[in-house]
Structure 1
C-alpha cells in the first residue's frame, strides 16, 4: 500500500501541498503542514494505517479500504459522530460543517483512477512529499545512510591522511 511520506529535510513550509489538496477537494485541504520549530515542518495527513483505528471505531462502518488500500469515507453512511477523528493518532479526519459528515484524505482517488499522483505530491516544488510503500521508503533511507556513511569515512580518512 502506497502512502504519502514527507522528507522533513526538504519541506520549506510553502503550503503548495495544502493549496493543491484544497483545489482537489472543494476548497478544504486534507493535509496541513505545521512548523514545529524554526527548522522543522511536520505534515498532518492520513497515513492510511494498516490496522486503521478510524475504521475499527466507526459505528456506521462508513470507513473502508479501497482497491489500492486507501482508507476512504462512504459519505452517505457517515453519521458525523467524530469518533474516527478521536481514534486517529494523527487527528486527520475532520467534520465538514456543510456536508455534516467526516472527511479525510482519499489519496486523490479521482487522480489515482487516471494514473496520476495525489495533488499534494505532484505539486510540491521541493519533492518533499513522496508516494511510496513503507518498504520503498526504508530502502531509500538505507541507501541515503550508506552514502552518508561513505562520505563520513572519506572525510575522516582525509583528515587523518590515511586516504587512498
Structure 2
C-alpha cells in the first residue's frame, strides 16, 4: 500500500519538531533537510514547513550534468550521491521551490530525501512521526483522496501540489484551503 506525505499548512504552530526529528533520521549527519519559515513575522505567527516536494519530473535531477540526483522507485528524490556530485550547484538553481542546499565544506548538495531509509519500508518519515499537530501526515492514497474531497476551494480547484501554476506534479501533497480562503479550520 503506497503512502504519501500530506501537509496541512494551517495546522503548523512553528514548534519545529519536524526539524529536530529530521536531524535524528539515519544518514542525515545531524543536519536539517527541511525548514520552517515564518510567513509574515511582523504581522502574525503563521509558520510553514518547507521540505522537498519530490517532483515526479524533478528539475534538480534534470539539471544535474552527472546524474548525481536519483529518483527512488518510491518517488522520493534523493540527495546528490557523494561520489558523483561535482558541486556545480545546478540543482539548487533549478529547483523552483528553493529546497536543495549546497554545503561548501563538503562540496555536496543535500535536501530532504523523505527519510528513504524509513519510507521504503512503509515507516513514516521522521518529520511526520514527531509532528504534534498533524501538519505533516503519512497517509495512504485512499486517505489522501478523502482529504482532497474535504478541502475543495470555492472555484472547484484543489489546492495541492497538482496546481497548474506550480512546476509539475509532486509526490508530496499540500492542503492550502484555510490559508487561501481566509477560513479557520475547526479541529
User: Which residues in structure 2 correspond to 1:1-164 (within 5 Å)?
Assistant: 3-24=4-25, 25-37=28-40, 38-72=44-78, 73-132=80-139, 137=144, 139-144=146-151
Aligned-CA RMSD value? 2.3
Question: Larger deviation: 91-100 or 80-89?
Answer: 91-100
Secondary structure of the 1:102 match is strand
In 1, Cα distance between the equivalents of 2:30 and 2:91?
22
Secondary structure of the 1:18 match is helix
The answer for the alignment partner of 1:152 in structure 2 is: none
Q: Can you list the C-alpha shifts for 1:69-116, whole angstroms capped at 9, x where unaligned?
A: 111132211111111011101111111234321111111111124431
Q: Can you list the C-alpha shifts for 1:46-78, whole angstroms capped at 9, x where unaligned?
A: 011011111111111111111211111322111
- Which entry has the higher C-alpha Rg, 1 or 2? 1
Secondary structure of the 2:137 match is strand
The answer for the alignment partner of 1:159 in structure 2 is: none
Aligned residues of 1:58 and 1:84 also touching (Cα < 8 A) = yes
1:41 Cα shift? 1.8
* TM norm structure 1: 0.78
- Equivalenced residues, count: 146
Distance 1:101 1:17, change over 3 A: same
Q: Can you list the C-alpha shifts for 1:25-50, whole angstroms capped at 9, x where unaligned?
A: 11211110111031422222101101
Structure 1, gaps ≥5 residues long:
146-164
In 1, Cα distance between the equivalents of 2:51 and 2:4?
10
Higher helix share goes to which structure?
A: 1
Structure 2, gaps ≥5 residues long:
153-187
In 1, Cα distance between the equivalents of 2:68 and 2:143?
30
Which structure has more relative contact order (CA 8 Å, sep 6+)? It is 2
In 2, Cα distance between the equivalents of 1:114 and 1:134?
16
Distance 1:134 1:89, change over 3 A: farther
In 1, Cα distance between the equivalents of 2:91 and 2:141?
23
